[in-house]
């Protein structure tokens, strides 16, 4: 399951042309047709340091990602809402044969054993 999750994340992040048409992030669509504001960066390594270089000029705007189709968008955050929080480290690979972004280590799990699936009780 871990490899599948990493593969899905890798595929979503490694095909920018799917998101911005053939012109990539510099196309007209790539500049104005985003669901939320973001700053594109190029990530590379210099020695033991990871460098984040801004690719497109500008700054992140006020729009934030929207959770369309996700139950949280419909129910908000009721007091009966339960979920498990995880603090994890992500590994960035430059090799196309490895996942681009993958969970490399997990430092903390709120429940201790991932026993809190996202649940809530509906108020009748």
DSSP state of 122: P
| Global model pTM greater than 0.85 | no
84 in a domain, yes or no?
Answer: yes
25 in a domain, yes or no?
Answer: yes
User: Tens of pLDDT along 9-66?
Assistant: 444 444 444 444 555 555 555 454 444 444 555 666 777 766 666 555 555 555 555 5
124 in a domain, yes or no?
Answer: no
100 in a domain, yes or no?
Answer: yes
114 in a domain, yes or no?
Answer: no
121 in a domain, yes or no?
Answer: no
Number of folded domains in the chain?
1
User: Tens of pLDDT along 90-107?
Assistant: 777 766 666 567 777 888
- Residue 80 Ramachandran class (φ > 0 left, ψ -120 to 50 alpha, else beta): alpha
Which residues in 21-100 belong to E strands, given as ranges?
A: 41-46, 49-54, 86-92
**What domain range is 28 assigned to?**
2-109
10 in a domain, yes or no?
Answer: yes
50 in a domain, yes or no?
Answer: yes
């Amino acid at each position: 399951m871990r490899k599948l999750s990493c593969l899905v994340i890798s595929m979503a992040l490694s095909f920018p042309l799917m998101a911005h048409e053939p012109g990539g992030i510099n196309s007209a669509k790539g500049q104005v047709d985003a669901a939320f504001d973001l700053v594109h960066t190029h990530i590379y390594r210099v020695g033991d340091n990871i460098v984040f270089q801004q690719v497109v000029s500008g700054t992140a705007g006020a729009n934030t990602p929207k959770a369309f189709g996700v139950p949280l968008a419909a129910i908000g955050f009721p007091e009966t809402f339960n979920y498990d929080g995880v603090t994890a480290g992500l590994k960035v690979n430059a090799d196309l044969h490895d996942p681009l972004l993958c969970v490399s280590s997990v430092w903390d799990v709120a429940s201790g054993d991932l026993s809190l699936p996202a649940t809530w009780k509906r108020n009748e």
